[in-house]
Chains A and B, each alone.
Chain A
Amino acid sequence: MLTFIEFIEEIAKKVLTIPPADVDRMREKFGDKVLKMGHLQEDGSMLVPVDCVLEAAQSVGTQTLAEAAEILKSDRMVSMLHSGETLVERVGEVRERKLRELIRKFQSESIESDARRQWKEIEKTVFGVDYPD
């Protein structure tokens, strides 16, 4: 169980890191849709945007979220499998939707300096890299 401070520290980060072993376990359970959640790193860990996780968690509801957490941290796969899968899918969907929103805003932006700032976000989202200016 996280303390309140640990919880605040976690959600204050822009990305969560899923350890390699957890990524492997989730891919075994849910397949390659797990990859849509974020960017795989060289060591096999995955960086997942915190805002996408929070929005996905809010959208699945408390009951489903509790079940999803249970299935994600354990090997119990029977009746609760669907909840974990729903959360994984939802994170990927939110991530793609946020990219599309960023792109639409970028394409319709009339102020060039704002477009540059929006492009930085798109770069980070697509390539997983915060390039220097």
Chain B
Amino acid sequence: MPKIDWKRLTRRAREHFYDRLRTREITEDDMAKLMDWISTNPEVPEGPWCKAFGTFKLVGHGATPGTLLTKDQPCFGEKI
């Protein structure tokens, strides 16, 4: 099972984080949850995956983190 390589997080995904956190669309609580999750160096599926954090969802493919979804957008990939 791969572990996420956060160095691969794209500028575009980081800009999404920037905009949504700045406008409070993503809450402080959910960013803290994300930090805690990242701190565990979690294993993820080889294929597409999706992780929900309340006000947003994060999708990825294997070790590569992908983009952000809003809380109302459907997950694609394996829910973790």
Q: Would you call A40 an interface residue if the criterion is a C-beta within 8 Å of the partner chain's C-beta atoms?
A: yes
Question: Are A36 and B39 also in contact (CB < 8 A) when A103-B21, A103-B28, A107-B21 are?
Answer: yes
Q: Would you call A18 an interface residue if the criterion is a C-beta within 8 Å of the partner chain's C-beta atoms?
A: no
Report the count of interface residues on B (CB-CB < 8 A): 20
Looking at the assembled complex, report how far the CB atom of B16 sits from the nearest CB atom of chain A, in whole angstroms. 12
Which residues of A have CB within 8 Å of B28?
100, 103-104, 107
Q: Tell me what chain A mostly uses at the interface: helix, strand, loop, or mixed.
A: helix
Which residues of B have CB within 8 Å of A104?
28
Report the count of interface residues on A (CB-CB < 8 A): 26
Q: Tell me what chain B mostly uses at the interface: helix, strand, loop, or mixed.
A: helix
Q: Would you call A81 an interface residue if the criterion is a C-beta within 8 Å of the partner chain's C-beta atoms?
A: no
Residues of B26-46 at the interface with A, using a CB-CB cut-off of 8 Å, are 28, 31-32, 34-36, 38-41
Complex-state Cα separation, A126 to B21, whole angstroms: 13
Instruction: Establish whether residues A99 and B35, one from each chain, have CB atoms under 8 Å apart when the complex forms.
Output: yes
Question: Are A126 and B9 also in contact (CB < 8 A) when A40-B41, A107-B24 are?
Answer: no
The interface of chain B, by Cβ under 8 A from chain A, is 3, 6-7, 9, 11, 14, 18, 21-22, 24, 28, 31-32, 34-36, 38-41
